[in-house]
Amino acid sequence: MSTPHISAEKGDFAKTVLMPGDPYRAQFIAENFLKNARLVNDVRGIKGYTGLYKETKVSVMASGMGMPSIGIYSYELYNFFDVENIIRIGSAGSYNENVHVRDIVIAQAACTDSNYGEQFGLPGTFAPIADFGLVETAVKTAREMGLCFHVGNILSSDRFYGDNAGIPDWKQPLNCWAKMGVLAVEMEAAALFMNAARAGKRAAAICTVSDSLITGEATSAEERQNSFTDMMKLALKTAVKIKNKYEGA
């Protein structure tokens, strides 16, 4: 059943996959939160694990950086490995003075400056949105956990560096995206949401704010890899609840 990018068999992945960008974050989650976790993919160093969280089968696999990368992995998981739900868990940069470093952002939708949607041949502009059931469950769970979180629109950008006097235009605090109420910027969710829509599956994105484009405050690479545990626990608890919701207890 192996694909060009995933070496696994049907049944190796749970119905719900948590998808961080960083392979080491996937490994951290597997080693610290999953019981009986086993490595089910390591092609190109993109680590994927399946184990149990509170007796619920859950998988976690990295997506790599950017929409082309998550586009490949989410497409193969949805279409070849019977995955029904993918929850992106990653970092984001805040565009909003009220969204602080280490806060959590649960995406309702993902704007994008990418041309990823062109492949679908739509006679207009597609609005990539998260699955309401997953968002609703994540929001309720975040409230139960007492987390500091925000729900709203995010931007999935194709560019980390841009040609604007050495400063990417998406790093301008009061740019056009922020003026439209976009809370934060990352690089993957829009492609994930589009692939889910096309496959008739479900997707969500839960991000921890790693840096503020307003204040300049930022976390280190090590912190992003290992310390965003509230986001990880929120996604895992959401995975348990959606299994009960969609598959039965």
Question: Catalytic residues, which ones?
Answer: 211
Residue 248 CB neighbour total at 10 angstroms: 6
What gap in Å lies between CA 79 and CA 167, rounded to an integer? 39
The crossing angle, in degrees rounded to 10, of helices 189-199 and 67-80 is 30
Q: Which residues of 62-80 are buried (b: 16+ CB within 10 A; e: fewer)?
A: bbbebbebbbbbbbbbbee
Confirm if 229 and 110 have CB atoms less than 8 A apart: no
User: Which residues pair with residue 91 across a beta bridge?
Assistant: 208
